[in-house]
């Protein structure tokens, strides 16, 4: 099946609201995934998120999907549908930046254990000469979590200057510290190898080949009514179609760690294409199967207990979207705005959760929801586990 036809099929399935699908059910109709529906409805009722879109895939099919609650609460309530676009936040890291970079790995442009300063010479400043590309991809670089935002600054050039001057908190390879600076740097490497902007390269070499027509950095004004708003910025302006992450926003909305917007149908296409290509089945995913296996198996330094793939989480304190049933060896990622994707190649399954849990004022959590939805879904998909 070609990617456009698969994407069209998925969008039609999502528009149908679940009725008539294997394992799916319309809202209010009992089915095997009713526990998932109850969990999401309860989280909305408890004020943890205005709404959510859930898509569960298994065996090459969408087996459950539903939109719950509202897209926006202020300045007016807006109904949520499955075509709502979300700020994917840190899902940008594995979905966009890592794929783009690994295309150059396949082309032989670099090796994983090359120091990043071989290609970005200024990165060697302040004790960073030993940090490798593998360290950056696995968050074992020793760099701090983010650039300093305590003083005003704007612009990509200023962000790059600050990245180059950043001083590590720990020796490279010593410990796992999740850092946006790692992926800002990896985005700069994509630009170095491609001689292109990160957003244009990702659009033309990752998203377009997959048929992800509703995914991009810097969404156009025509998309704004369909985008779930996040929260008020420092000027009390509601962010809608403008990246929530403050560092990416200061950089103009395009960065290796955050900035991608997408919807449920596109992300379902992405997840299924990844599983298909990793398993050696026909797929438009723009990497080789062996590269995907490399990316989704542990790549952290020897002897370290926090398990990270290249761009993907496997077993760390961030792994709550795995739940209690999916095995270690499955993989995924989360986004600060409330998005998450977890994939289990062993059962050919994925669980996609899209929320704007930060709307309208922040302060809400969907960590428990991610865990419980994955557990409930896996109990249906992996009976006896």
Give the model confidence (pLDDT) of 372-384 as tens digits: 999 999 999 998 7
| Higher-pLDDT residue of 14, 200 | 200
20 assigned to some structural domain = no
10 assigned to some structural domain = no
- The rounded distance, in Å, linking the Cα atoms of 48 and 71 is 13
C-beta separation of 330 from 344 below 8 A: yes
pLDDT score recorded for residue 1: 44
21 assigned to some structural domain = no
pLDDT score recorded for residue 9: 63
Range of the domain at 319: 33-381
How do residues 298-340 score in pLDDT, each as one tens digit? 999 999 999 999 999 999 999 999 999 999 999 999 999 999 9
7 assigned to some structural domain = no
CA–CA–CA angle 255, 256, 258 (5° rounding)? 65
166 assigned to some structural domain = yes
Number of alpha carbons in the 13 Å side-chain half-sphere of residue 377: 34
C-beta separation of 353 from 346 below 8 A: no
CATH of the domain at 208: 3.40.710.10
Strand positions, DSSP E, the chain: 51-58, 61-72, 78-79, 85-87, 216-217, 260-263, 307-308, 313-315, 331-335, 339-344, 349-355
17 assigned to some structural domain = no
pLDDT score recorded for residue 124: 98
C-beta separation of 246 from 66 below 8 A: no
How do residues 137-152 score in pLDDT, each as one tens digit? 999 999 999 999 999 9
pLDDT at position 285 over 80: yes
- Considering its fold, how many domains does the chain have in total? 1
C-beta separation of 212 from 269 below 8 A: yes
Nearest to 33 by CA among 57, 60, 51: 57
18 assigned to some structural domain = no
336 assigned to some structural domain = yes
pLDDT score recorded for residue 384: 78
Which H helix or E strand runs over 275?
A: helix 264-278
């Amino acid at each position: 099946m070609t990617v456009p036809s698969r994407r069209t099929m998925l969008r039609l399935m999502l528009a149908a609201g679940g009725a008539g699908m294997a394992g799916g059910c319309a809202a209010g109709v009992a089915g095997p995934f009713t526990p998932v529906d109850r969990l999401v409805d309860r989280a909305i009722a408890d004020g943890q998120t205005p709404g959510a879109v859930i898509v569960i895939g298994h065996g090459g099919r969408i087996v459950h999907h539903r939109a719950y609650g509202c897209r926006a609460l202020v300045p007016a309530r807006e109904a949520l549908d499955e075509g709502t676009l979300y700020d994917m936040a840190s899902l940008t890291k594995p979905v966009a930046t890592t794929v783009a970079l690994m295309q150059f790995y396949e082309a032989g442009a670099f090796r994983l254990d090359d120091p990043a300063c071989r290609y970005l010479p200024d990165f060697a400043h302040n004790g960073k000469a030993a940090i490798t590309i593998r360290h950056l991809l696995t968050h074992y670089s020793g760099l701090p979590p983010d650039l300093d935002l305590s003083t005003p600054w704007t612009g990509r050039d200023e962000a790059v200057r600050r990245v180059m001057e950043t001083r590590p908190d720990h020796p490279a390879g010593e410990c796992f510290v999740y850092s946006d600076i790692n992926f800002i740097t990896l985005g700069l490497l994509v630009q170095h190898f491609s001689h292109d902007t990160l957003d244009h390269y990702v659009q033309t070499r990752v998203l377009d080949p997959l048929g992800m027509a509703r995914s991009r950095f810097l969404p156009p004004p025509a998309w704004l009514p369909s985008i779930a708003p996040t929260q008020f910025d420092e000027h009390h302006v509601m962010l809608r179609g403008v990246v929530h992450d403050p560092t990416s926003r200061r950089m103009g909305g395009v960065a290796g760690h955050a900035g991608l917007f997408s919807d449920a149908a596109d992300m379902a296409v992405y997840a299924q294409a990844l599983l298909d290509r990793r398993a050696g089945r026909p797929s438009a995913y723009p990497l080789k199967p062996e590269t995907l296996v490399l990316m989704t198996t542990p790549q952290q330094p020897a002897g370290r207990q926090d398990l990270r793939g290249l761009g993907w989480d496997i077993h760390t304190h961030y792994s709550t979207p795995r739940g209690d049933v999916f095995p270690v060896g499955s993989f995924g990622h989360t986004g600060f705005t409330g998005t998450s994707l977890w994939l289990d190649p062993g059962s050919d399954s994925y669980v996609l959760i899209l929320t704007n849990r930060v709307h309208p004022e922040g302060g809400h959590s969907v960590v428990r929801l991610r865990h419980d939805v994955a557990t409930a879904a896996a109990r249906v998909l992996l009976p006896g586990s």
